[in-house]
Amino acid sequence: MSVALIESLDHEGRGVSHVDGKAIFIEGALPGEKVEYALLRERPRYAQAEVRRVVRASAQRVVPPCAHFGSCGGCSMQHLDALAQAAAKQRMLEDALWHIGKIEPEIIHALIDGPAWGYRHRARLSVRVVPSKGGVLIGFHQKRSSHIADMQSCVVLPAQISALVPALHVLIAGLSVADRVPQIEIAVSDTATAFVFRHLLPFSARDLNALTVFADTHGVQVWLQPAGPESAARLHPQEGPGLAYTLPEFDVRMDFRPTDFTQVNVHINRLLVRRAMQLLDPRPGERIADLFCGLGNFSLPIARLGATMVGVEGSTSLVARALANAESNGLAARCEFHAADLFESTEDSLAALGPLDKLLIDPPREGAIAVVKAISAAQRPRRIVYVSCNPATLARDAAVLVHEKGYVLRGAGVANMFPHTSHVESIALFERD
């Protein structure tokens, strides 16, 4: 068995060591540890491995509370103390900014942190019928595999949702088309909880009755999704509140469908919106664009603070719901929304939005390279707040803003949106030099 001393964590939460000049990425290892490891895959310049025995443990190693940790791919860092996880993510952000963008922020913003357990208000559980493994499997995918880590509970789901996992096994096992239900999407909101059952064949009358009983017994909504996300429709109960989350600090309520994108961690989202508004500092008389605006998570607080807001989003259905949210919150007079492919942004398309004092960008993992390249001397907002879910694309885009567009990276910091995973959510502030 090979032995290694662990130097650091990589962006996937794996321990990094160097053996005979080759980088070894070791799952389950922590910085400062001495471990025995077994190779999983070897390449000329690096290798992937997993821990077989911890010879000398880190003081930051903890016992994972989840019985599925190690096989389930949902979490990768439960063996590391929660505060140490956050510090590691901050280092991942700073390393990406420096190594990819050749940039250092003037200041590091304080960590945005919250509950470490029961935080996940959105989840997509895979379902598979495997008779050789006991029947119905429900859970996240296993590490490095398309197989399902069969769960009976989940410590990152809210306790009341985790407690329903055994009931889901029973429900699915009794359906006539159990082998044609590939996933269950769960959305927990301030007003209701929805379970969306993706199904590839129609349910029988008996199936529909079982789903209705499940909804009534557990006080949840059951939705059916026969095709794409927009096909999802509520089965039961037909009456009652829709899904919504609130941003109390800004007196905003956001209505959404269970298949819409919303942040997984409602606690961190509220703090992230607060931080974004502090950095952006919207004021009456200003005109501010919110790019990749989605349902209006940042748009409506911007408008509530008095600025005129221009939201742009690629999905026409999300644009419609953002407008509806603006209207229901009494903010439509200060909001306009447009559907456009921001990955195809040009100087002309950005200029078509009109003069902009400030800009908020909240892209998916691919980042916003077309947007930042489209910023011109004529259309150069004096302040940009960039919310990122991928340090690598943030660093790439930051390099354009700083080295080509004349901005200064005033500050950057981490929001611990996904505790116990290697996912790094961050926020950065750029200002014209």
One-letter identity of residue 192: A
Does 379 count as an annotated binding residue?
Answer: no
Does 269 count as an annotated binding residue?
Answer: no
Q: Active-site residue among 47, 232, 389, 414?
A: 389
- Residue 389 known to be catalytic: yes
Got the DSSP string for 260-327?
A: S---S-HHHHHHHHHHHHHHH---TT-EEEEET-TTTTTHHHHHHTT-EEEEEES-HHHHHHHHHHHH
Residues 6+ apart with CB under 8 A from 107: 410, 411
Does 75 count as an annotated binding residue?
Answer: yes
Residue 311: φ, ψ to 5°: -100, 140
CA atoms within 13 A on the CB side of 243: 25
| Strands annotated E in 57-117 | 107-108
Does 27 count as an annotated binding residue?
Answer: no
- Of 433, 289, 295, the residue nearest 358 (C-alpha): 289
Are 184 and 167 within 8 A, CB to CB?
Answer: no
Does 292 count as an annotated binding residue?
Answer: yes
Does 72 count as an annotated binding residue?
Answer: yes
- Of 169, 171, 148, the residue nearest 222 (C-alpha): 171
Does 313 count as an annotated binding residue?
Answer: yes
**Token reading at 157:** 């789901």
Are 376 and 351 within 8 A, CB to CB?
Answer: yes
Does 225 count as an annotated binding residue?
Answer: no
> What are the catalytic residues?
389
Residues of each annotated binding site for S-adenosyl-L-methionine: 263, 292, 297, 313, 341, 362
Residues of each annotated binding site for [4Fe-4S] cluster: 66, 72, 75, 154
Residues of each annotated binding site: 66, 72, 75, 154, 263, 292, 297, 313, 341, 362
